[in-house]
């Protein structure tokens, strides 16, 4: 019964969002009771009337006087109840759709308070995928299921009262069958939940392969290599595992379902037998007819009652997955601390160390400082720890040792969201969205002339404006052709330029560019860096790269190697170090550029 608390939690969420829902269900409840009881009394009155009149119907008028008008009244009441119920169902359909959107939006927004590291956790991704796929339906069904249960209880109570007037044994048997059926259904639900939980990781892997098989980015490899054979083999293996998982559960599920069906099948004939035995003693045919209908409805309601309880439990178990996610809180995200309101003046990194979950140090005793307006380059080979440093600067992670200070205030004392409005980054593999170029740059609607001017300025900063200006709709051209025939498709280098423009438009006071030119040729790279330094004169820029095109004109360079700073200084200072690692890298890359090689 512990899982039922999530059905109550679901109902509270629904009622808070739509208080009118309770009024709608109250009206539906009254209509349901009327629809259940009216046929029973109608049958009794009709049979008793014919019995008393010895079935001597002399004319249509005589028939109408005997039972016709009663039938019309009963039918009118029944029809009115049904029509009102349909109206209530119509109103509930609007609430249902709105509530689905509300829950889905809540799950999406929950990402704002979930730490970045959770997205590297397979268990979290399994549950989050599960919640996004059906969380809205599960919470809604868990909430409404309780109300449906109350309606069934009231409908059943009215029939139980009628049957009880004849003999209590029918009621005892009905309740006993209901209890047996309940425990069987509970067991089936638990098996279903365990089955879905075991299958979720396998389904997520299969869905990944399905996605890869139709996205444009993977088509070149799939059409020109044998990678599809590997993927299809993995798909087959996962399908085989799913079948093995299903086989282990289906036998038990089928057995319990058979037992439950046998139990419920016996309910109606046994209740009818008990009712018939005691009613026939009195030879009250009217009561026999009405109680026969009541017994039929009662056995149906018992089945619905038990099914409803177990359905609520099933949806509650699934709703728990969503509520557990909604109740999650990170150590970094969503934690209210000091808001960053002061403009950027300086950033200090003091003796920091950082390791991911495997305890292997990625950064070790790193110290550096950045003043407002400076242009800094952090260079080193791949795997040196540069991108990890960027994630720490954005406070996606907290350092294990040491501290990072923004204007002398420790990062851990600052609200992450407000910090990221001052400190921002562009990564080397940005996401491109199927909206306009302007919206891709601003990451919001482009609504004013000032917005358009900012987009153009940002595109010039990243050296992408000349290309966008040639497009038929300019900055209002749709990006990608997935949904738009006239959309534009950016190359790898143009996508990186778009990302740089995006970062510029956010007006970060400290702007980190992580490998912003890895897809560019040397000439395009040099031109883009020239634009950045020219148009970003008043910005504080940090260039992260293993290519040294941006280092000549920056204020200070930090060379990373295996998570440590091994050299630091200006370009001129580092080039004077005998046998220096920076000098060796710069000379090596310069030779390749002179030979026309693009050192990536």
How far lies 181's CA from each of 142, 267, 273, 455, 461, in Å?
20, 11, 20, 65, 70
Same domain, yes or no: 496 and 466: no
Same domain, yes or no: 423 and 440: no
Q: What is the 3-state secondary structure (H, E, C) of 445-495?
A: CCCCHHHHHHHHHHHHHCCCHHHHHCCCCHHHCEECCCCCCCCECCCHHHH
Q: Strands 401-406 and 409-410: what pairing? A: antiparallel
Concatenating the DSSP letter of every residue in 367-431 gives EEEEETT-EEEEE-STTSSHHHHHHHHTTSS--SEEEEEETTEEGGGB-HHHHTTTEEEE-SS--
Same domain, yes or no: 417 and 439: no
SS3 content of the chain, % helix, strand, coil (to 5): 65, 10, 25
Q: Please report which residue ranges of 110-226 form alpha helices under DSSP H.
A: 122-164, 168-212, 216-224
Same domain, yes or no: 251 and 373: no
Q: Which residues have a Cβ under 8 Å from the Cβ of 411 and sit 6 or more positions away? A: 395, 398, 399, 403, 404, 405, 419
Within the chain, what is the greatest distance between any pair of CA atoms? 125
Residue 565's CB: how many other CB atoms inside 10 A?
A: 20
Residue 424 lies in a domain: yes
Same domain, yes or no: 271 and 181: yes
Residue 263 lies in a domain: yes
Choosing from 456, 489, 522, the residue where a domain stops is 489
Same domain, yes or no: 269 and 382: no
Same domain, yes or no: 158 and 302: yes
Q: Which domain holds residue 300?
A: 2-326
Total structural domains in the chain? 3
pLDDT tens digit at each of 600 positions of the chain: 555 788 888 889 999 999 998 898 888 888 877 777 666 666 666 666 666 555 555 555 544 555 555 666 666 777 877 788 888 888 888 888 889 888 888 888 887 778 888 877 778 888 888 888 888 888 998 888 888 877 777 766 766 666 666 556 666 766 777 777 777 777 777 788 888 888 878 888 877 777 777 666 666 666 556 677 777 787 788 888 888 888 777 778 788 778 777 776 666 666 666 666 656 555 555 555 555 656 666 666 666 777 777 778 778 888 888 888 888 888 888 778 899 888 899 999 999 999 987 668 889 999 999 999 998 989 888 888 888 898 999 998 999 999 999 999 999 999 988 898 899 888 777 788 888 899 988 888 888 999 999 999 989 888 889 999 998 889 999 888 777 777 888 888 888 888 888 888 888 889 888 876 665 666 666 777 776 776 567 788 898 877 777 788 888 999 998 899 999 999 899 999 988 898 888 888 777 655 555 544
Which CATH number belongs to the domain containing residue 46 in this structure? 1.20.1560.10
Residue 354: beta bridge partners? 363
Residue 321 lies in a domain: yes
Which residue bears the tokens 């996508």?
A: 495
Burial letters 411-425, b for 16+ CB under 10 A, else e: beebbbeebbebbbb
Same domain, yes or no: 206 and 322: yes
Same domain, yes or no: 409 and 437: no
Same domain, yes or no: 295 and 365: no
CA dihedral 563, 568, 574, 577 (to 10 degrees): -80
**Helix or strand (DSSP H, E) at 268:** helix 227-280
- Determine if the pTM surpasses 0.75: no
């Amino acid at each position: 019964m512990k899982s039922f608390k999530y059905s109550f939690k679901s109902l509270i969420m629904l009622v808070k969002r739509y208080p009118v829902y309770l009024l709608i269900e109250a009206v539906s409840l009254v209509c349901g009771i009327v629809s259940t009881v009216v046929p029973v009394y109608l049958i009794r009155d009709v049979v008793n009337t014919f019995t008393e009149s010895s079935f001597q119907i002399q004319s249509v008028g005589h028939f109408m006087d005997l039972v016709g008008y009663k039938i019309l009244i009963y039918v009118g009441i029944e029809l009115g109840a049904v029509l009102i119920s349909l109206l209530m169902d119509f109103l509930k359909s609007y609430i249902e759709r709105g509530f689905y959107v509300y829950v889905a939006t809540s799950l999406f927004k929950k990402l704002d308070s979930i730490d970045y590291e959770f997205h590297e956790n397979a268990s979290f991704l399994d549950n989050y995928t599960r919640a996004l796929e059906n969380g809205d339906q599960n919470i809604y069904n868990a909430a409404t299921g309780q109300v449906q249960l109350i309606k069934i209880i009231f409908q059943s109570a009215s029939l139980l009262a009628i049957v009880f007037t004849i003999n209590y044994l029918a009621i005892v048997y009905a309740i006993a069958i209901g209890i047996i059926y309940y425990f069987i259904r509970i067991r089936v639900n638990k098996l279903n939940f365990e089955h879905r939980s075991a299958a979720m990781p396998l389904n997520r892997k299969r869905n990944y392969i399905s996605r890869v098989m139709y996205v444009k980015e993977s088509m070149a490899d799939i059409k020109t290599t044998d990678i599809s054979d590997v993927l299809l083999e993995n798909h087959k293996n996962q399908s085989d595992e799913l079948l093995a998982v299903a086989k282990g559960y289906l036998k038990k599920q089928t057995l319990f379902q058979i037992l439950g069906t046998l139990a419920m099948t016996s309910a109606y004939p046994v209740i009818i037998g008990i009712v018939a035995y005691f009613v026939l003693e009195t030879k009250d045919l009217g009561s026999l007819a009405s109680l026969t209908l009541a017994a039929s409805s009662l056995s149906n309601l018992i089945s619905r009652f038990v099914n409803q309880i177990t359905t609520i439990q099933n949806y509650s178990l699934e709703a728990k997955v969503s509520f557990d996610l909604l109740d999650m809180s990170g150590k970094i995200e969503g934690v209210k601390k000091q808001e960053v309101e002061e403009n950027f003046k300086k950033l200090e990194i003091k003796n920091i160390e950082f390791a991911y979950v495997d305890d292997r140090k990625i950064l070790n005793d790193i110290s550096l400082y950045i003043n407002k307006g400076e242009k800094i380059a952090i260079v080193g080979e791949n795997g040196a720890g540069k991108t990890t440093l960027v994630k720490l600067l954005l406070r996606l992670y907290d350092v294990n040792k040491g501290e990072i200070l923004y204007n002398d205030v420790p990062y851990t004392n600052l609200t992450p969201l407000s910090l990221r409005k001052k400190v921002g980054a562009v990564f080397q593999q940005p996401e491109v969205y199927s909206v306009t170029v302007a919206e891709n740059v601003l990451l919001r609607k482009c609504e004013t002339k000032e917005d358009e001017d900012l987009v153009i300025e940002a595109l010039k900063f990243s050296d992408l404006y000349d290309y966008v200006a040639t497009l038929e709709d300019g900055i209002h051209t749709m990006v990608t052709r997935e949904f738009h025939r006239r959309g534009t498709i950016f190359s790898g280098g143009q996508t990186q330029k778009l990302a740089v423009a995006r970062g510029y438009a956010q007006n970060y006071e400290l702007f980190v560019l992580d490998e912003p030119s890895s897809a560019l040729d040397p000439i395009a790279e040099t031109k883009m860096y020239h634009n950045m330094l020219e148009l970003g004169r008043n910005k504080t820029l940090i260039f992260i790269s293993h290519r040294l095109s941006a280092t000549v004109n920056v204020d200070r360079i930090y060379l990373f190697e295996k998570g440590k700073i091994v050299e630091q200084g200006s370009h001129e200072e580092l080039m004077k170090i005998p046998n220096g690692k920076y000098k060796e890298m710069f000379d090596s890359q310069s030779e390749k550029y002179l030979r026309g090689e693009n050192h990536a």
